[in-house]
Each structure stands twice: as C-alpha cells, then as structure tokens.
Structure 1
Amino acid sequence: MTSSRPLRVLLVAHYYPPHVGGIENVAARQARALAARGAEVTVLTSALPAAVAPSPVAGVRVVRVPARNGIEDRTGVPFPMFGRGLHRAAHTWARWADVVHLHDTLYMSSWSAGWRAIRTRTPLFVTQHVALVEHPSAVVRAVQHAVYGTIGRRLLRGSRAVFVVNDSVAAFAGRLRGRRDGVELHPNGVDTALFHPASSAGERRRLRERWGLSPDRVLVLFVGRPVPKKGYGLMLAARHHDYDLVFAGERPKHTSDDPGVHHLGALGSDEVSELYRACDVFALPSTTEGFPLTVQEAMAAGLPIVTTDDPGYSSYGLDRAQVALIDRDPAVLRATLRALAGDPARREAMSRYSAAFAEAQFSWQRHAHRLEEVYREALTERGTTVTGTPA
C-alpha cells in the first residue's frame, strides 16, 4: 500500500491531561513532539467526570471514552474502569492508524487497542513505564501479577519494540517478552523552555510570595500522588525544622497542621514549573520507578536531587557526588535533607550539575525522532509509505 499522507499514530494512555500523573504527562508530550514532526496523532484515553480538557494541540486529536475512577478514589491506584465504548473506539482508531503505541500494558485501554492491533497486524509498540510495584495491598499486588502474566505478556510479545526508561523495567519487560531483543532504553525528554532554573534570587522570592511560601526557609519539593509508591509517607516521616516540605499533587484526605508542611494540591505543568524555580531541593523517595519524569523536570530546573537508589538509574551514569541516591529510610532521608539544608555551597554545585545533565540528556525532539525511525522501519516492511517529516 502506498500513500502520500502523513504518518498516523495512535497513542493509548489510560489517563491524559488534565489528569495529573507521570504516564499521562509523557503521553501528552510525546504526542506534541510527534505532531511537531508532521505526524497525525490520535490519543485514545479516558473521559472522567468534571475534567476540563486542556487547550487543543495542532496535529493531536484526543478521543476520550467514558470511564469511572472509583478504584483510584478508594485505593490510590490509577486504574480507570472503561465502559463499553472502549472496544468500539479502539476498533475504529486502530484501523485508522499506521502504528499503535501503548503506554504500559496494565490498563484496559491498552488491552483493547493492543489486541486490536495484533488482530489486524498493525505494527504495535509499547512504552513500559514500570515493573511490578511494591504496593501495601495484597489485592493490588495480585492483580498486577495476574495482568502482567496474561494480557500484559501477550502484548509485550506482540509488540515490535518495547521502550523503557531504566534497566530494571528493561529486565522485567524482557522476562515477560521472553527475550531482551526489541527492548530499548529510550529516555523521556523535558521541555527546557518550561522547566528551567530561576533567573535570579528575585524571581525565586516573587514565586515564593505568590505561593505563600517562606522567603527565607529551605524548601524541599515533592511532586507526585500522596501514595506509598511515591514515598509520600516517607517524606512526612522525614520532617525536620531545618527545612519546609512542599507537596504538589493530589491533596490527601488528611493533612498536617504543621506550618512547615505545605500541600498545594494538583497543579498544571506551568504551575509546577514555578514551584521548581521557587524551591531549593527536590526529593522523591519512590520505588520501582527508575528515572521518573518529575526527576528529569527538577534537574532541568536546576534543583539538587534526592531520590531512591534504584538500579534503574545505572545506565544513565549519574555522578553520585552530585545526585543523592539513598535508601528508602526516613532517617536516611532526613539526614540527607538536613545536610543539604545546611550546605548552600553543595546545593549550588548539585544545581549546576542537574541543569547541565538535563540539557545534555533529555530532548523531546530526539525522543520523537527515534520513535519515528522505528515506526517507519515497521511500515517499510509492510510496504506502507507516508510523507516525510521535519528533521
């Protein structure tokens, strides 16, 4: 089959902005980057009650299927329950697409669209974001094993390529896939026009005033959902009067009255970018995430990084003298944060390192270019020709 039209990409993500979370942010930026290169992108995702969709992006169509969000509301696990319209939408848009790209295999949207791609022999690609998550609920752990061991395994084996952001997830995907070939380390990019260091001490002061934060306290920022996986409880357990804690993300049901703990709620990317520039240190004691997007954003904003010593970081070659990779222990976290709070010279050195590392390593243009390469390789084998895109 020959065509002169642009490349058609179906991206599938269980959530999408305005819902706040790492997978949906990656999917949105990936869609934008592919569209900027000339592709036609359709995103298949959930429609949640009372959600206000963000402004449209040229070249990106967002198809939202009604879903219920009760599981996340009750347990903190982001798992939308789709209605019957999911299968019809997956059938329609998988037929339209040249390639289908799933974001993780754990979710109903991926099951439906991925199975349709396999049935129609449409080239299938997967970004596997995480491995098995250590969750306190035995039910959640059992569901993960059941899903990844069945439909997840089938989708990973049926994909042309599996993209991961760290070695731990690569090993996990390789085991389920039955082979490591086709599993590729593929770092996410960062919008360095949005996420960048504060231009001056004056800008930092103005942002702190805007957000009601102390002008002279050391501020430690956490961005993420208030769940065990992200290390929210560890952050609270590491509280000390040497610094204030600033939380950006869904507001928990019960918050502390401690004046040194600030819960700012779920925020958009523009607002979070301001908080990066307002704060002094970024901390994320999460588990089984490897290199989360929020760590990349914080580095681009020039913040010293304190995060879990996850094996998934190994392939990035981080300088451990400039990035604090620590055990998930509140005493260790507290000691590390106290040491940084009392050492502005070390914070400044770590800040410079973060900004330089992000500038060199994290590019959405490079990310999208690699996706386009593998998409086109698959289409060439099928005899499908689409128009070129900008370099």
Structure 2
Amino acid sequence: MDSKYDLTVALTYYEPYISGLTHTARSIAEGMVERGWRVAVVAAQHEPDLPTRETIAGVDVYRSPVLMRVNRGFVAPRYPALAVRLARNSSVMLLNLPMAEAALVSAACGRTPVVSMVHIDLYLPPSRLSRTLMRLSDFTSRVAIRRSAAVVAYSQDQALASQLWPDMQRRRFTPIAAPCLDRRDGQPRYRETRALHVGFLGRVVEEKGIQYLVRAFQRITDPDARLLIAGNYHAVAGGSNLADIQAEIAGDSRIRVLGELRGKEVDDFYASIDVFALPSVAESFGIVQAEAMMCGIPSVTTDLPGGRYPVTATGFGRVIPPRDPVALEKAILELADTTQKWRDIKAKEAREQFSLAACLDAYEALFISLRERR
C-alpha cells in the first residue's frame, strides 16, 4: 500500500514560532510541497490556541497537546505516538535534533528511513538543571543518530566540532547549508540618518550575545549612528534576556529595539542597515547573517564552529572572538568602510551558496535515494 505522505518532518516548535530551526523545517516542508511532494509536519501545540490539525501552504500540520513546559521543551505525552504513526505512513522521516522524544520516535519508525537533522548541540544558560538537560539531550540525539539512515548538518565545520560527531560519522553524513531567502526587495523604512546603521536580527536570548553588541556600539561616538535590534522577546522558548539588554542600553537614544519582524518587514530591515552583527556565544549557522549577505550586507560573527561558516565560506565579513566588544567594534567599522563593488561581488557568491533552491535540491536528492532504497 502506498504511503499517505512522501515526507514527515518532526520537530518541537513550528509555525507561527520563529527560530532558525523552525525556518529551516518550514522552508523544507513547503519547498517540497511546491515540488509535488505530500508533506506532513508533527510538532507540539506550543500555544494552547493553536489548532491540533491544520494545513499551511499545502503542508498538513499535526500538533500534540502540551501537558507542561520544561525549560525550552515540553511534556507532550501523545507526541511520540503521533510522530511514529505519521512516520510509518510516510516514505521518509526528517527528525530535527535536538528533541527530547528523538530516541523514542526513531526506535519505532519501522521500515521508514529516518534522516536526523542536527541543528545544534543544545545550549542552555549555565545551571545545574541546564547541565542535566543538555546531557539528556545529547543522549537522545545519539540514540536517534544511531538509528538513522542518514544525518545532515549545516556544514562540515559544524559537524566536526559537535559532541555528536563520533556517531554522525558512522552514518551517511551530508552537509547541507540552511535554506536562505533572497530578501533584496526591501525599502529602508527603519533607516533614520545617513550615518552608520548596524543591525541584529534573531531571538532576543542570552546565547545571541546581544549585550556584547550593545557595548561595542556604545564605543562608536557618532551621534547619528544607529543600532537596530530586531527579534522576538515575548513568547521565546526558555525566556528572553531583554531586561539585561535594556540595562546595557541605559538610555542610549541611538539604539532601537524593534521587536519581532515578519515577511516584508524583514526585507525592509536588511535594506536599512550597513553592517549585520551576529555576536552569538552559541550558534550553528545563522540564517539571518547569510540572508543579510545575500542582500549585500557584510556580517560580523563570532568564531564558533558552524556559526562562522557563512562568513568563512564567502569571505563576506569578519570573524571575531565571542564576548569581545572591542574586536566587534573594530570589525563593524572595517566593514562599514568597504566598497560597493566588493559587496556586490560577495553578495552574488552568497546567493549562489545559500539559496533556497540549492538547499531543496540537496534534500530532495537525499530523500529520493532513501525512498528508493526503502
């Protein structure tokens, strides 16, 4: 009997939640639907008013009710059974890691080949509970990888530095860059002056290192310069550190906290800045910086495996040590001085490497090969 779905994508958070992981999963799911695939997504019902069953852009979305929250995760008792049922009724399962239920789900998929997508080694702000949760996360990810037909990470750079690499290298491993959107149609509606505008876009959380960017920007004395901080700080998994960032800003009237941006607002954000900054202390790729680069905006990023890859692969930016406002300020000013010709050349390279089409081509080839083997 034919499977109901060609592909099931399993993860914890899905639309309307915004993160690099959910962006990647949604781009793959919707992209494969556009290529004629039947796709299901199984996720947690992370907000109680979300429907447990709906169709978004052709993707059948199933959400499992949540009993309680644990840090960034959930206790959703029905999730494993729901994920397994969909997986067994699919040609291929894409399992997004880290995920607390990964070991259970991967063990029960039957003949359906599992592709484990390793987004990042779980990072949580230091505490005794965090250390326990990270060890448990690594354990469930290792079990899932060992039971997978193939494993994907954003880059070889990310994979080699992962604690999971000893298990990943024993499977069929494929590096596939994250799916990035071409956002060149924006208007500079967030630009206020003709002076330097620096931008950050992402979840407003501790591991993004935004406080170091604020300190770096405050070393720049130009009264007309601006720092634009955009991203969700309301319903963020694990909680936002907005209060700490506002304390760092300390009344600096040149800094704008824009909040969450979507769709055309993101395009307009990129059109409003001269330099993008991603000062993370934990990062695996940074879709936002790659999309900025595709728009012709160079990026400053920290020297983290995976997170530095978009810059090192194109040369379109600077890599600095984490938690170093002095180095961050210097890199921002260096990139602000670069020529338009250099930016245009590097932007073209970034679009060639990180386009949505290139990502979907790689995933489709992998899925087809596994489906045929099944």
Q: How far does the alpha carbon of each residue in 1:179-237 deviate from its partner, in whole angstroms, 9 at most, with x for none?
A: 35512111122222xx1265xxxx42xx12xxxx4132321111112223211121122
Per the alignment, residue 237 of structure 2 pairs with none
What are the within-5 Å matches in structure 2 for residues 92-171 of structure 1? Answer: 92-104=85-97, 106-117=98-109, 120-131=110-121, 133=123, 135-148=125-138, 150-171=139-160
In terms of fraction of residues, the more helix-rich structure is 1
| Residues in 2 aligned to 1:307 and 1:260: alpha-carbon distance in whole angstroms | 22
TM-score norm. by structure 1 comes to: 0.81
Per the alignment, residue 75 of structure 1 pairs with none
| Residues in 1 aligned to 2:339 and 2:209: alpha-carbon distance in whole angstroms | 22
Q: How far does the alpha carbon of each residue in 1:17-37 deviate from its partner, in whole angstroms, 9 at most, with x for none?
A: 211111001111111111111
Amino acid in structure 2 at the alignment position of 1:19: Y
Per the alignment, residue 323 of structure 1 pairs with 317
Q: Which moved more, 1:21-30 or 1:89-98?
A: 89-98
Task: Report the CA distance shift for 1:371/1:339 in structure 2 as closer, same or farther (over 3 A).
Answer: closer
Per the alignment, residue 179 of structure 1 pairs with 169
What are the within-5 Å matches in structure 2 for residues 1-391 of structure 1? Answer: 3=2, 8-49=6-47, 56-67=55-66, 70-71=69-70, 79-104=72-97, 106-117=98-109, 120-131=110-121, 133=123, 135-148=125-138, 150-171=139-160, 172=162, 175-177=165-167, 179-192=169-182, 195-196=183-184, 203-204=187-188, 207-208=189-190, 213-240=191-218, 241-242=221-222, 243-251=225-233, 252-254=241-243, 255=246, 256=249, 257-312=251-306, 313=308, 318-320=313-315, 322-328=316-322, 329-341=324-336, 343=337, 346=338, 348-382=340-374
| Residues in 2 aligned to 1:18 and 1:69: alpha-carbon distance in whole angstroms | 19
Q: How far does the alpha carbon of each residue in 1:262-304 deviate from its partner, in whole angstroms, 9 at most, with x for none?
A: 1111222332222011111110011342422111111122211
Residues 6 and 38 in structure 1, CA contact (< 8 A), matched pair in contact too: no
Number of equivalent positions: 353
Deviation at residue 307 of structure 1 after TM alignment: 0.8
Residues 203 and 232 in structure 2, CA contact (< 8 A), matched pair in contact too: yes
Deviation at residue 110 of structure 1 after TM alignment: 3.4
Residues 65 and 82 in structure 1, CA contact (< 8 A), matched pair in contact too: no
Q: How far does the alpha carbon of each residue in 1:234-270 deviate from its partner, in whole angstroms, 9 at most, with x for none?
A: 1122122333211111235422432111111122233
Task: Report the CA distance shift for 1:152/1:121 in structure 2 as closer, same or farther (over 3 A).
Answer: same
TM-score norm. by structure 2 comes to: 0.84
**For the aligned residues, what is the CA RMSD?**
2.7
Deviation at residue 134 of structure 1 after TM alignment: 7.1
Task: Report the CA distance shift for 1:291/1:166 in structure 2 as closer, same or farther (over 3 A).
Answer: same
